[in-house]
Structure 1
Amino acid sequence: MADRDDAALDDPVRESLRGHHAHLARWLGRTATYQPEVSTFSTVSADPDAAEWADLARLLGHGELADMFSSPATPPPDWEPVFVLEGLQMVWSGGGETGPGAEDPGIVELDADSVPEMLDLVARTRPGPFWPRTRELGSYLGVRDNGVLVAMAGERLRPRGWTEISTVSTAPEARGRGHAARLIHALATRVMARNDHPFLHVAEANTRAIALYERLGFETRRHVTFRGFRVP
């Protein structure tokens, strides 16, 4: 696996949009966001001026959500705050519990035909933002029970040298069976096979998930604050 370049994680949305996800990007000046229904994540430069915020407003449209992810940039006062969430950025450090990995026969690929089921599972478990085209960001894997999708996880941001594991979801009736750990192992194995490093984000209040990730070999790199604003 290639040497780590941690600097790419300081602005993972921007790094993804100008790199691996360039084909899904919309740019105006120095601002960028994803195509509709892929993601609401947006990015501005490190020190944006009023003109740059105006560009982002034009890019997104009146009344739309500017999900600034972990960007510390503060928009003008007329951008209405929608949410603030404290979180952690965690990186895989090696070690941790081992699992079946990418060859686990109980894990299936989730294709475009699976999107309605994926949206339903996300609505029930609320792991974070997931839209009809979010699946286009990377590979998504799932576990089925009698044909019903009961757990899933996939790849989201792709800054250079890194792949984010995200949307880790298990239906309430299927919890406690190790599905999340199996999916994370399978995804991490794939990520490392292409010389990337796995990382993820988690709400700071989600102590159960943090404990699982630590058990699987992830460690906290930094605290982050997720913020969203309504475009005036």
Structure 2
Amino acid sequence: MIDLEEQLKNPVWYSLKETHKKFAIEHNGVQFYNPEICSFGSFFDETKTAKAANEYLKNSDDFFFVSENQTPIIDNTKVSLEKKIDGCQMVLNKLTEVLITENIVLLGKEFIDEIYELVWLVMPGYYKRRSFEMGKYFGIFKNGKLVAITGQRMQTNQFIEVSAVVTHPNYTRQGLAKQLIAHTTKEILKEKKTPILHTNKGNLAISLYEKLGYELTRDMNWWSYRKIG
């Protein structure tokens, strides 16, 4: 078994080799998620990424390569780099006790559209409707409306990633995200797995994650590509 520290260096790769292997698509030794599920790709050998990207984009218009410190190689005649997101990985050290005052609900399939709409309202550009299938989603409702969610994304037999932490703009600064992150983290710990998360460097939310017991561990960068033509 690959140890946790090695898995965390390439979380997309190992997620697709373990828990999410049913979503995996492989081209030229490079691993991608089914584009209906997620837009992430992963690799160890960057000399294989150009050919793999060209193949993957036959069935998708865009995707991300996720890498700690390697730079993917692409075919500039067929693929364009839209942006590079300088990200970081955080791993739970010890969860800070949080008072849960909200009613946090495990969200079923009937909420797929509401989750999608809320994520795209707050953080448009990456979430797919079928991303719901990657893990559990939890939500808080106000007046019958879903106003805050937290989900689980990449995962293996050893870790689960906290993701899709979003709150409707009308309900921010009420501690909803804090309670949802704490709840989701506890659910991961119940499975005897390590909670992790990813975010952009400089994100103001990092201070909240740190207060909850997460620690910055490494860079984890997102290279966003789009098919030309």
TM-score of the two chains, using structure 2 as the length reference? 0.89
Could you say which residue in structure 2 is the equivalent of 1:199?
196
Q: What CA distance in whole angstroms lies between the structure 1 residues aligned with 2:93 and 2:122?
A: 27
1:185 CA displacement: 1.2
Q: Partner amino acid for 1:202?
A: T
Could you say which residue in structure 1 is the equivalent of 2:37?
38
Q: What CA distance in whole angstroms lies between the structure 2 residues aligned with 1:179 and 1:66?
A: 30
1:48 CA displacement: 3.3
Could you say which residue in structure 2 is the equivalent of 1:15?
14
Contact 1:32 1:56 in 2 (8 A): no
SS of the equivalent of 2:25 reads strand
Q: What CA distance in whole angstroms lies between the structure 2 residues aligned with 1:58 and 1:74?
A: 15
Q: What CA distance in whole angstroms lies between the structure 2 residues aligned with 1:171 and 1:225?
A: 26
Deviations 1:182-209 (A, max 9, x none): 11111111111111000000111312x1
Could you say which residue in structure 2 is the equivalent of 1:175?
172
Could you say which residue in structure 2 is the equivalent of 1:74?
72
1:113 CA displacement: 1.5
Q: What CA distance in whole angstroms lies between the structure 2 residues aligned with 1:227 and 1:73?
A: 8
- Which of 99, 107, 111 is equivalent to 1:110? 107
Which stretch of the first structure deviates more once superposed, 190-199 or 111-120? 111-120
Contact 2:53 2:74 in 1 (8 A): no
Pairwise mapping of residues 69-148 of structure 1 onto structure 2 (< 5 A)?
A: 69-70=66-67, 72-78=70-76, 79-100=79-100, 106-126=103-123, 129-148=126-145
State the aligned residue count.
223
Q: What CA distance in whole angstroms lies between the structure 2 residues aligned with 1:152 and 1:83?
A: 27
Q: What CA distance in whole angstroms lies between the structure 2 residues aligned with 1:32 and 1:177?
A: 39
SS of the equivalent of 2:73 reads coil
Contact 2:88 2:217 in 1 (8 A): yes
Q: What CA distance in whole angstroms lies between the structure 2 residues aligned with 1:66 and 1:36?
A: 8
Q: What CA distance in whole angstroms lies between the structure 1 residues aligned with 2:125 and 2:136?
A: 17
Contact 1:96 1:214 in 2 (8 A): no
Cα distance, 1:173–1:109 mapped onto 2, change above 3 Å: same
Cα distance, 1:76–1:217 mapped onto 2, change above 3 Å: same
1:27 CA displacement: 1.9
Q: What CA distance in whole angstroms lies between the structure 1 residues aligned with 2:189 and 2:107?
A: 20
SS of the equivalent of 2:12 reads helix
Could you say which residue in structure 1 is the equivalent of 2:223?
227
Q: Partner amino acid for 2:55?
A: R
Q: What's the Cα RMSD here? A: 2.0
Give 5+ residue unaligned stretches, structure 2: none
Residue 47 in structure 1 maps to residue 42 in structure 2: no
Give 5+ residue unaligned stretches, structure 1: none
Which stretch of the first structure deviates more once superposed, 104-113 or 129-138? 104-113
SS of the equivalent of 1:69 reads strand
Q: What CA distance in whole angstroms lies between the structure 2 residues aligned with 1:159 and 1:178?
A: 29
Deviations 1:22-76 (A, max 9, x none): 11112234122112321010122x22335x5313321331772131023523223
SS of the equivalent of 1:176 reads coil
TM-score of the two chains, using structure 1 as the length reference? 0.88
